[in-house]
Structure 1
Amino acid sequence: MANSGTPEELFQVLDDTAIILQNALEMSYLEAVYETSENLFQQEVLQTEELSEKEAAKLAERYREIDLKEYAPEEIRKSFQLALLKGMKHGIQTNHQMTPDSIGFIIAYLVEKVMRKTQKIALLDPACGTANLLSTIVNQLKMDGKKDVHATGVEVDDLLISLALVGSDLQGLETTFLHQDGLANLLVDPVDVVASDLPIGYYPDDARAADFEAAHEEGHSFAHFLLIEQGLRYTKPGGYLFFLVPERMFETADFAKLDRVIKKYGHTLGILKLPDTLFKTEQARKNILILQKKGADIKAPKEVLLANIPSLTNPHELAPILKQIDSWLEDNTHEGN
Structure 2
Amino acid sequence: MKTNTEQIFTYLDEAASTDESLYLEQLIVACKKWAEGTAGPDLKVNATKEEIRRGLQLAILKGMRQNVQSHHQMTPDAIGMLIARIASLLLPHKESVQVLDPAAGTGNLLLTVMNTLEVPSAAVAVEIDELLARMIVAGADLMEQTIRIYVQDALRPLLVDPVDLAVCDLPVGYYPDDENALNFEMMPADGHAYAHHLFIEQTMHHLKPEGYGIFIVPSALFESAQSGELHTYLKKHTVIRGILQLPQTLFKNVAQSKSILMLQKPSEQNGPTPDVLLATVPDMTDKQAMISFFNKMEDWSNENVK
Instruction: State the TM-score, normalized to the length of structure 2.
Output: 0.94
State the number of aligned residues: 305
**In 2: Cα distance, 1:162 partner to 1:299 partner:** 43
Q: Following TM superposition, by how much is the alpha carbon of 1:68 offset from its aligned partner in structure 2, in angstroms?
A: 11
- Contact 2:240/2:262 (CA < 8 Å) preserved in 1? yes
**In 2: Cα distance, 1:68 partner to 1:201 partner:** 46
**In 2: Cα distance, 1:33 partner to 1:190 partner:** 33
1:18 aligns with 2:12: no
Q: Following TM superposition, by how much is the alpha carbon of 1:322 offset from its aligned partner in structure 2, in angstroms?
A: 1.5
- What is the DSSP-based 3-state SS (H/G/I as helix, E as strand, rest coil) of the residue aligned with 1:232? helix
1:306 aligns with 2:278: yes
- What is the DSSP-based 3-state SS (H/G/I as helix, E as strand, rest coil) of the residue aligned with 1:28? helix
Correspondence list, 1:1-337, <5 A? 6-20=4-18, 22=19, 27-44=21-38, 63=39, 65-66=41-42, 70-90=46-66, 92-142=68-118, 147-297=119-269, 299=271, 301-334=273-306
Q: Following TM superposition, by how much is the alpha carbon of 1:298 offset from its aligned partner in structure 2, in angstroms?
A: 5.0
Alignment RMSD: 2.0
**In 2: Cα distance, 1:279 partner to 1:194 partner:** 24
**In 2: Cα distance, 1:293 partner to 1:320 partner:** 29
**In 1: Cα distance, 2:249 partner to 2:272 partner:** 32
Q: Following TM superposition, by how much is the alpha carbon of 1:69 offset from its aligned partner in structure 2, in angstroms?
A: 9.2
Describe the shift of the 1:100–1:178 C-alpha distance in structure 2 as closer, same or farther (beyond 3 A): same
Q: Following TM superposition, by how much is the alpha carbon of 1:262 offset from its aligned partner in structure 2, in angstroms?
A: 1.3
2:15 partner amino acid: T
**In 2: Cα distance, 1:180 partner to 1:153 partner:** 10
Q: Following TM superposition, by how much is the alpha carbon of 1:218 offset from its aligned partner in structure 2, in angstroms?
A: 2.6
Describe the shift of the 1:302–1:40 C-alpha distance in structure 2 as closer, same or farther (beyond 3 A): closer
What is the match of residue 53 of structure 1?
none
Q: Following TM superposition, by how much is the alpha carbon of 1:324 offset from its aligned partner in structure 2, in angstroms?
A: 1.6
**In 2: Cα distance, 1:226 partner to 1:330 partner:** 32
- Contact 1:269/1:304 (CA < 8 Å) preserved in 2? yes
**In 1: Cα distance, 2:218 partner to 2:184 partner:** 20
**In 1: Cα distance, 2:198 partner to 2:44 partner:** 39
**In 2: Cα distance, 1:209 partner to 1:300 partner:** 34
C-alpha distance after superposition, 1:224-254 (max 9, x if no partner): 1000001110001111110000011111131
1:198 partner amino acid: L
Unaligned runs of 5+ in 1: 45-62
Describe the shift of the 1:303–1:115 C-alpha distance in structure 2 as closer, same or farther (beyond 3 A): closer
Q: Following TM superposition, by how much is the alpha carbon of 1:86 offset from its aligned partner in structure 2, in angstroms?
A: 1.2
Q: Following TM superposition, by how much is the alpha carbon of 1:65 offset from its aligned partner in structure 2, in angstroms?
A: 4.3
1:283 partner amino acid: A
- Contact 1:242/1:291 (CA < 8 Å) preserved in 2? yes
- Contact 2:33/2:40 (CA < 8 Å) preserved in 1? no
**In 2: Cα distance, 1:137 partner to 1:183 partner:** 23
Instruction: State the TM-score, normalized to the length of structure 1.
Output: 0.85
